[in-house]
Structure 1
Amino acid sequence: MQTLTQVLLEQGWDKRVLDDTQFARLVGGTDARRYGLVNRALQAGELLRLKRGLYVMSPRFRQSLPHPFVVAQALLPASYVSFEAVLAHHGWIPEAVYATTSVTPGRKSIRHDVPGYGQFVFHPLALASGYFLSGVQRVELAGQHCLLASPLRALLDLACLRKWEWQGLPALLDGLRLDEDELCSVTHADIVQLQPVYKHQRARDYLDALAGALSSGREAA
């Protein structure tokens, strides 16, 4: 009888985030048989558990881990990656970010500490109904997909989370160390897309002030 590890390698799934549903499709049989195969793989160190029902293969069988953004999506499928994680990913801020930060449609912040990856943090925001995924794209990273905020959406999500009041572009550029050229690449269409997203007036005012500052800067140039 083939081990679960052999089946996964034959299917080329060694770089994927894996769950019980996928195992059921791969090996068939009863739940008890599947659980037995999974437990044997875990005990042999061939499979690593991210959380209950979610796994990756041991580094012995792959060259690299699945991307942290893909893992975040698997940990909480309804979420999307945002905040500092996205700003760093797109080169908008220079600092390395050691937690993968996401927005959840739930009501509570959630944290997961995952061996080999570090911390995953999910925050809820007050967002208008129907606009949860505005400015969010489905992207492919190392062969798997995840939902990723645009840099502007990530910045506005951060302002909403931290309840920032607008204090001018210099304060934003110096405080967050945002790349000025990247920020100035934001278009009017980008701004318009996000105007209906946030419920709280503070967040909407912040976006309007940012739009005005960028427009004034372009006129001055």
Structure 2
Amino acid sequence: MKLLNLHLVEEKLLELNIKIFTPAEFKVIFGVSKRAVQGFLNYNTKKGAFVHLRKGLYGLKRSPPNEFVLANRAYSPSYLSLDSALAYYNLIPETVYSITSVTTRPTREFKMNNLAYKYRKIKKEAFTGYEPKKIGGQIIYIAVPEKAVADFLYFVSLGKQTFNDRLKIEEINKTKLFQYLKLFKQKRLITFANRFLKNDR
């Protein structure tokens, strides 16, 4: 039976730039049995070497994962959008205290590392308009500015998101914005967006 050494495990994970992993991924990386993996992770999580982020997902305590990377991994398929993406692009001035994403799965909210992660459901036809970006050597998926605004306006129109009158859209491509808004197939959303843009001028 292959024995796992905590120091060597940590070094290997850091070498591979893996800060979030599932037991199945851990098993493949280190070539040990499922039972050995579970025992090793349970023991060393209690000792403080790993963080049990949520069911089936662990993180390296020594080198915590980026919040955006964690958001993508914790509940997929999803991409960062709404307040988190708007703040990332400096389209809203406020500091954001939770990580917001959209998904095609049921709406969810949970805490990891004492930070709230919120996921809002949208229809599959509108699940687009995001792109990969590299953060800390890892890839995240985040809405492009126009899609972040479209997602935001969609949930505001449903009464599920508070309108932010300090949203800056001067640099937003309006043609692209309406292309994304039309994916939701709601006339009232287009009407709402037109009214918002008119009042913003």
Question: What is the TM-score with the length of structure 2 in the denominator?
Answer: 0.84
The code of the aligned residue for 2:90 comes to: G
Residue 89 of structure 2 aligns with which residue? 90
Q: Mark the CA change 1:158 to 1:72 in structure 2 (over 3 Å): closer, same or farther.
A: same
Q: Provide, for residues 120-153 of structure 1, a one-character-per-residue CA deviation record: whole Å limited to 9, x for no partner.
A: 011113x3x43311x2112221122221112221
What's the RMSD between the two structures over aligned residues?
2.5
Question: What is the TM-score with the length of structure 1 in the denominator?
Answer: 0.77
- Among 18, 22, 40, the alignment partner of 1:19 is 22
Q: Mark the CA change 1:188 to 1:123 in structure 2 (over 3 Å): closer, same or farther.
A: closer
1:131 lines up with 2:126 in the alignment: yes
Q: Provide, for residues 40-69 of structure 1, a one-character-per-residue CA deviation record: whole Å limited to 9, x for no partner.
A: 2212110001101111111xx23xx32211
Distance in structure 2 (CA, Å) of the matches to 1:80 and 1:89: 13
Distance in structure 2 (CA, Å) of the matches to 1:103 and 1:43: 33
Distance in structure 1 (CA, Å) of the matches to 2:174 and 2:145: 14
Identity of aligned residues (%): 22
Mapping of 1:193-208 within 5 angstroms?
193-208=179-194
Mark the runs of 5 or more structure 1 residues left unpaired by the alignment.
166-171
Mapping of 1:66-77 within 5 angstroms?
66-77=65-76
Residue 108 of structure 2 aligns with which residue? 110
Distance in structure 2 (CA, Å) of the matches to 1:195 and 1:178: 17
Mark the runs of 5 or more structure 2 residues left unpaired by the alignment.
none
SS of the equivalent of 2:27 reads helix
**CA shift for structure 1 position 185:** 1.6
Q: Provide, for residues 148-193 of structure 1, a one-character-per-residue CA deviation record: whole Å limited to 9, x for no partner.
A: 112221222122112269xxxxxx7xx43123xxx12222542353
